[in-house]
Amino acid sequence: MIILDVKNLKVYFSRGKKLIKAVDGVSFSIKQGETLGLAGESGSGKTVTALSLTKLISEAKFLGGEVVFKQKDILALASSQLQKIRGKEIAYIFQNPASSLNPVFRIGSQMVEIIMMHQNKSKKEAKSCALKMLQRVGIPDVQKNFESYPHQLSGGMNQRVMIAMALSCQPSLLIADEPTTNLDLTTQAQILELLQKIKHEQNLSLLFITHNLEILKRLVDRLAIMYAAQIVEFGENLFEHPLHPYTQALLSAQPGFEGRSQILKGEVPSPFDFPAGCRFHPRCPFKKAICEQEEPLMQEREKGHFVACHVAENVVK
């Protein structure tokens, strides 16, 4: 069952007279209980995509397309209805756990606040619910840490608290935006394990955003690769059989890749001024004449494997 269906999502910002296309026609879907990875370089539009799924980008000049979550078109909802979905049905985990928690309140009271906001519970019930959640995410000495301030906990601990907070209202979709980027490797592994465990327990759908492909390889069912505000490749067996030249280059740049790394020339194009045709063509080692003129469409090249590329068939593995 598809729980979230994003069609042709566009998010534009304006700076002066210029238009910044942060997300430009992104489509993907997430099934119940599935983990979808969203990967791409910094500035490719991953975070903006994630935030616009519940209309959290208030500065956007233009927000278009469709985000259908459980038969509701989220982009058409009023803010009071959105507030009932945010945190309750779709919850987030952000990149910097320590700064994403309010520094002046104890973590316990912040959790109780979120629980009471979405569920009809008394303060006492909310507290016992929060304690249970903290225990589940592996916070030691729950009673004591319930009374801690965020600055008294380590980064990994704060991330656990955030996970507990995000899951305290049993959401059906969890959006994790680079949740382990600022953590050290062992903590990172622990957090990923925790996420996976909880995901299975709750049959949760997970949208996992990162630029770290190695993490995604272990974690995701399907993968979407973003480049210059668009998804260029989307599907199940991207790791084994990447079709888009950008995906191939990205994968070959990972440590542990057997064979020669492809080093891409040039830089990510500026969002003020994307190249005509395929946005990847200036850097593509396989480009043809058509790439400079015509924008490639998303096509299903293998079963469940979509690519937007004119040269994908010719590409040598």
Tell me the C-alpha distance between 304 and 74, whole Å.
26
**Residue whose CB is less far from another protein, 169 or 189:** 169
Radius of gyration for the chain, computed over Cα atoms and rounded to the nearest angstrom: 21
Cβ contacts of residue 96 below 8 Å, gap of 6+? 182
The residue ranges that bind another protein (CB under 8 A) are 51, 54, 56, 79-80, 83-88, 91-92, 94, 96, 99-105, 113-114, 117-118, 162, 165-166
**Residue whose CB is less far from another protein, 8 or 102:** 102
Tell me the C-alpha distance between 276 and 287, whole Å.
13
What's the closest the beta carbon of residue 271 comes to another protein, in angstroms? 20
**Residue whose CB is less far from another protein, 114 or 291:** 114
The pair of three-digit structure tokens given for residue 102, joined into one six-digit string: 């309010």
Q: What is the dihedral of CA 115, 97, 58, 298, to 10 degrees?
A: -110
What's the closest the beta carbon of residue 228 comes to another protein, in angstroms? 25
**Residue whose CB is less far from another protein, 3 or 174:** 174
Is residue 42 within 8 A of residue 22, CB to CB? The reply is no
In three state form, how does the secondary structure of 234-276 look?
EECCCCCCCCCHHHHHHHHCCCCCCCCCCCCCCCCCCCCCCCC
What's the closest the beta carbon of residue 83 comes to another protein, in angstroms? 5
Residue 250: C-alpha distances to residues 99, 151, 239, 255 (Å): 30, 36, 10, 11
What's the closest the beta carbon of residue 24 comes to another protein, in angstroms? 23
Tell me the C-alpha distance between 106 and 244, whole Å.
47
**Residue whose CB is less far from another protein, 101 or 134:** 101
What's the closest the beta carbon of residue 260 comes to another protein, in angstroms? 40
Q: Sign of the CA dihedral 275, 280, 285, 290?
A: negative
**Residue whose CB is less far from another protein, 51 or 219:** 51
**Long-range contacts, 234-239 (Cβ 8 Å, 24+):** 234/28, 234/298, 234/305, 234/306, 234/307, 235/302, 235/304, 235/305, 235/306, 235/307, 236/304, 236/305, 237/302, 237/305, 238/305, 239/213
Using alpha carbons only, what angle is made at residue 136 by residues 132 and 138, rounded to the nearest 5 degrees? 120
**Residue whose CB is less far from another protein, 85 or 195:** 85
**Residue whose CB is less far from another protein, 86 or 244:** 86
What's the closest the beta carbon of residue 68 comes to another protein, in angstroms? 19
What's the closest the beta carbon of residue 117 comes to another protein, in angstroms? 6
What's the closest the beta carbon of residue 159 comes to another protein, in angstroms? 12
